[in-house]
Structure formats: C-alpha cells, structure tokens
Amino acid sequence: MVLDLQFKIKNNPNYQRYLREHSYWYKTLNRDPSTFRVFEEEVKDAYQLRTSDKISKALDTLEMVSALMSTLK
C-alpha cells in the first residue's frame, strides 16, 4: 500500500476500524490507491459522518428536548 494512504488510515480511527471490519479493502487499496475516495465515502456512510447526518442527529435531539419540556409543563 502507498505510504501516504497508510498514514491517512493510521491517523483516523474510523478508517482503521472500518478496515478491520471490511478486510477486502486491504486488497482493493493495495491494487488501486485511487479507490481511497470510494473507501472514504463508505466509511462516512457506515458511521454516519456526513454533514446531513450530523444535522439530522441535532434536530432529533432538539425534538426530544422540546417533547420533554412540553411534558413537564
């Protein structure tokens, strides 16, 4: 594997965890380092790290807090 990719994976615990869970990516990244973008997208999908996912979580939290406040009145 290209040294640059190794550093990127080593410095990101989400990449490491996903790579351990889906070991076929070792072979794919070794053969074609340009597929790293696809790997990153899969990690973001799997662990819900996209901006839209974070906004959705925040809205869910706000809805829960407002529901809690309305039941306390």
What does the alpha-carbon distance between residue 55 and residue 44 come to, in Å, rounded to a whole number? 14
Kindly report, residue by residue over 36-62, the tens digit of the pLDDT.
999 999 999 999 888 888 898 899 999
Residue 42 structure tokens: 């899969």
Specify the pLDDT at position 54. Answer: 85
Q: Give residue 4's identity as a one-letter amino acid code.
A: D
Phi and psi at 12, nearest 5°, equal: -125, 110
Kindly report, residue by residue over 4-47, the tens digit of the pLDDT.
999 999 999 999 999 999 999 999 999 999 999 999 999 999 99
Which of 32-41's residues contact partners 24+ apart within 8 Å by CB, and which partners? Answer: 33/1, 33/2, 33/4, 33/5, 36/5, 36/8, 39/15, 40/15
Q: What is the tally of structural domains in the chain?
A: 1
Q: Which domain holds residue 21?
A: 3-72
pTM reported for the whole predicted model: 0.76
